Amino acid sequence: SATTKTPQSVSTMATEEDNVGNIKRQLAKIFDVSLRTTVPDETDVEPLVAACAGKFGDYQCNNAMGLWSKIKGKGTQFRGPPSVGQAIMKNLPPSEIIESSSVAGPGFVNVVISKNWIAKSIQNMLIDGIETWSPRLPFKRAVVDFSSPNIAKEMHVGHLRSTIIGDTLARMLEFSNVDVLRRNHVGDWGTQFGMLIEFLFEKFPNWEEVTETAIGDLQTFYKASKQRFDSDPVFKEKAQQAVVLLQGGEPKYRKAWAQICEISRSEFNRVYERLGVQLEEKGESFYNPYIPNVIKELTDKGLVEESQGARVIFIDGINIPLIVVKSDGGFNYASTDLAAIWYRLNEEKAEWIIYVTDVGQQQHFDMVFRACKRAGWLPLEDNKYPKTTHVGFGLVLGEDGKRFRTRNTEVVRLVDLLDEAKNRSKAALIEREKAAEWTEAELEQIAEAVGYGAVKYADLKNNRLTNYTFNFDQMLNDKGNTAVYLLYAHARICSIIRKSGKNIEELKKTGTIVLEHEDERVLGLHLLQFAEVVEEACTNLLPNVLCEYLYNLSEIFTKKFYSNCQVVGSAQETSRLLLCEATGTVMRKCFHLLGIVPVYKI
Ligand code: ARG
């Protein structure tokens, strides 16, 4: 019968597509062989492998129950899920990955991972680089549309969240060898520009020479021009004409528009520079020339209808339509997004387009994506490429539980906020008497790394959909789940290696990792799980998954391994130093993916 077939052996040799460090994928391949032997008549059985923290094993295969319900009516030799589980276990091909296996409960197949294999995998990573642990994803190019503030308007904490989350997602995809187009979809087009341009002409007759400092704060400028617009009908008339002239390409108006954009841009860039975030601006105006053809295509396909003078697309189950041409004939946010998707799919050949904005825009994106599906631009199934995803996030709250604002001003100036984070972390370092120990440049650099890292981590560690409270004291605390705690833990690991006086590069070549003590094994297994965790964070677009992994790594290192296993001066010194180095390497890669600059001493 099927169950007595000799199991074929699985090669664990690395091939190009092989995710050598990814335990889950390696196990899935092994269980796949077993499942095909166990139930040869069942096709399309996906191995269900998951990590488990039970005392029976490190991973489990959960196929038995589902399989039983598929085969029970078909005259099978099995007597129930446990016997299916037993067969799955028995048919496992020999593999160096698995140390032992057992069947528990209603048929879960538990496996204990071989510690020699864990040790060997870590050692290979130390030699070949952590890139060998990067996810392999089924597409080559992605667009991440993030940050995307609006010209002349406030760049608020929502945009800060988008910037931080979007940058991390881009970094994770880049690490996975995806070609990422980091797009800043700035709001640089629209009717407000008529008013801004007219106000600029009125306030600054010599506007062509005017600089940022002369205009001062663009937000104040915006408010003043809005006030003028609302109170003076003559001005309003002029502003409306200015829009027409601008959109018609009148050089003087284009020039004034470009100048206003430039002032905003240099303000945005100050924030990006502080955060170390790269973005390529393709604002709303960029897509404007593409809109007419896109609307025509959608109209030809029968998607566009007339409604109350506007042209709209109705979406099943949503009671408001997506307006694509306003009643005055103008285009809007939605028409721009439709043109942008068209461009990204056809011109940029993106296979995954990711939008990072607050959850308030979820319905907008839902409607836009569904319109694209109706147009046949995107497949109907969510698991096929090309695809689009809206990555929504919650609010940043102040201590009062309301939307975050600073003490005296209405809006939070992001640059001020980052300055405060840095100044506070610098003060803490000075209090720890680092000013005497380090050069001024080092103090500055570390204060920035810790301060900005703290702001980023406080945001990323939460599930992005939940609101979180902005609190400097909490995020800059050196205890608890904070960037400060993690950065210090990393610095301490570096100092253990430094103080050993050993050349770690030499040890990587000559030394061997042996996972003898239980806590060494726990640390080793967790290190190796980096690969599957990044893959999960990447495919589900959840940076908090990576934060949680990093925090646990640091806890396991400090509270288990380092508390119970003497490193320097012990008989196992070489192996343990290599484990320290591997922990440092994985932590640094996590920091890098989270956009945090590591600190090497403290
Ligand atoms: N400018 C928009 C805002 O500030 C965000 C743009 C998001 N991207 C997009 N393609 N719609 O809310």
Pocket of ligand 1 contains residue 166 by CB under 6 Å = no
Instruction: Give the distance (Å) from ligand 1 centre to CA of residue 361.
Output: 9
Instruction: Give the distance (Å) from ligand 1 centre to CA of residue 337.
Output: 9
Question: What's the pLDDT at 232?
Answer: 96
ipTM over 0.95: yes
Question: What's the pLDDT at 406?
Answer: 58
Amino acid at residue number 550: L
Residue with tokens 């959960």: 62
- Largest Cα separation within the chain, whole Å, is 92
Separation between Cα atoms, residue 428 and residue 447, nearest integer Å: 9
* Residue from 265, 353, 361 whose mutation best tests the ligand 1 pocket (most atoms within 8 A of CB): 361
Question: What's the pLDDT at 411?
Answer: 62
Question: What's the pLDDT at 75?
Answer: 82
Tell which atom from ligand 1 comes closest to the C-alpha of 361: 12
Instruction: Give the distance (Å) from ligand 1 centre to CA of residue 506.
Output: 50
Paired sense of beta strands 396-397 and 280-281, if any: unpaired
Residue ranges in the chain whose pLDDT is less than 50: 1-16
- For residues 182-193, one letter each, b for 16 or more C-beta atoms within 10 angstroms of the residue's C-beta and e for the rest, the string is bbbbbbbbbbbb
* Residue from 148, 163, 169, 356 whose mutation best tests the ligand 1 pocket (most atoms within 8 A of CB): 148
Nearest CA to ligand 1 atom 4: 149
What angle, 0 to 180 degrees and rounded to 10, lies between the N-to-C axes of helices 251-275 and 157-175?
A: 70
Instruction: Give the distance (Å) from ligand 1 centre to CA of residue 252.
Output: 27
Pocket of ligand 1 contains residue 404 by CB under 6 Å = no
- For residues 144-172, one letter each, b for 16 or more C-beta atoms within 10 angstroms of the residue's C-beta and e for the rest, the string is bbbbbbbbbbbbbbbbbbbbbbbbbbbbb
Q: Which uninterrupted H or E stretch holds 387?
A: strand 387-393
The token duo for 568 is 């320097």
Instruction: Give the distance (Å) from ligand 1 centre to CA of residue 465.
Output: 17
Pocket of ligand 1 contains residue 337 by CB under 6 Å = yes
Question: What's the pLDDT at 378?
Answer: 98
Pocket of ligand 1 contains residue 284 by CB under 6 Å = no
* Residue from 261, 290, 357 whose mutation best tests the ligand 1 pocket (most atoms within 8 A of CB): 357
Question: What's the pLDDT at 218?
Answer: 83
Instruction: Give the distance (Å) from ligand 1 centre to CA of residue 338.
Output: 13
